[in-house]
């Protein structure tokens, strides 16, 4: 029998795999494109779409990298103070941080979704005629995934706090 928490864990693992696959593919494409561009310049071939696509890939790599960083709680942070807190206060600090970060990222995801909607209504065309709103979808997706990861961090710290309280 598969428990709900087991199912959730399985889903999260699958999600992490998909995110990693996206990250590796995007970076691979970036390397090929950036290298290819030098070659093309040597051959005096100018393709107008290569440059904007490269820049777009940098944004996407950055977003998926940020998602991976949030999964491992490896975002740049000031850990001077929390490092010296007693264990239980460290858990409490982790809970506050998780709640705060997931809240901020949820707002960002919502605003990003509105941004996608503006682009959709404005019928903005971007690269090679692909509608701009499709390319912008990565923003709400990325912030949403980060928000989920910090919500999980919040949950795990709260549970650990409750367990620590039950022990004493």
Partner 1 sequence: MIAVSLALLVVALLGAPLFAVIAASALTGFASSGIDLSAVVIEFNRLAETPLLVAIPLFTFAGYLLGESGAPQRIVRLTQSFLGWLPGGLALVAIATCALFTAFTGASGVTIIALGALLYPAFQYAGYPERFSLGLITSSGSLGVLFAPSLPLILYGIVAQQLGVGRPVSIEELFVAGLLPGLLMLVMLGAWSVWRNRALRAPLAAFSWTQAFAAVRESAWEIPLPFVVLGGIYGGFFAVSEAAAVTVIYVLVVEVLILREIPVARLPDIMRRSMVLVGAVLAILGMALASTNYLIDAEVPVKLFDAVRSHISSQLTFLLMLNVFLLLLGMILDIFSAIVIMIPLILPMAIGYGVDPLHLGIVFLANMQIGYFTPPVGMNLFIASHRFGKPVLELCRAAIPFFFILLAAVLIITYWPALSLVLVR
Given the rule CB under 8 A, which residues bind partner 1?
20, 23-24, 27-28, 30-31, 34-35, 37-38, 51-52, 54-56, 58-59, 61-70, 72, 74-84, 93-94, 96-97, 100-101, 104-105, 107-108, 111-112, 114-115, 118, 136, 139, 143, 150
- Least separation in angstroms between CB 94 and partner 1: 7
- Least separation in angstroms between CB 3 and partner 1: 29
Dihedral (CA of 34, 38, 39, 45) sign:
positive
Minimal CA–CA distance to 149: which of 161, 138, 141, 160? 141
Buried b (16+ CB within 10 A) or exposed e, 111-135: ebbeebeebeeeeeebeeeeebbeb
For residues 68 and 148, which CB has a smaller minimum distance to partner 1 in the complex? 68
Contact assessment for residue 138 and residue 63, using Cβ atoms and an 8 Å cutoff:
yes
- Least separation in angstroms between CB 11 and partner 1: 20
86 Cα distance to chain centroid? 30
- Least separation in angstroms between CB 5 and partner 1: 26
């Amino acid at each position: 029998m598969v428990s709900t928490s087991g199912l959730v864990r399985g889903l999260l693992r699958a999600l992490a795999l998909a995110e990693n696959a996206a990250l590796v593919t995007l970076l691979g494409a970036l390397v090929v494109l950036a290298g290819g561009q030098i070659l093309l310049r040597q051959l005096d071939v100018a393709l107008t779409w290569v440059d904007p696509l490269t820049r777009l890939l940098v944004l996407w790599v950055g977003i998926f990298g940020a998602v991976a960083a949030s999964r491992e709680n490896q975002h740049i942070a000031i850990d001077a103070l929390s490092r010296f807190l007693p264990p239980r206060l460290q858990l409490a600090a982790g809970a506050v941080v998780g709640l705060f970060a997931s809240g901020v990222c949820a707002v960002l995801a919502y605003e990003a979704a509105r941004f996608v909607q503006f682009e959709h209504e404005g019928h903005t065309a971007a690269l090679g005629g692909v509608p701009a709103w499709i390319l912008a979808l990565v923003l709400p997706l990325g912030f949403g995934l980060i928000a989920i990861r910090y919500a999980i961090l919040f949950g795990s710290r709260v549970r650990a706090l409750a367990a620590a309280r039950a022990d004493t």
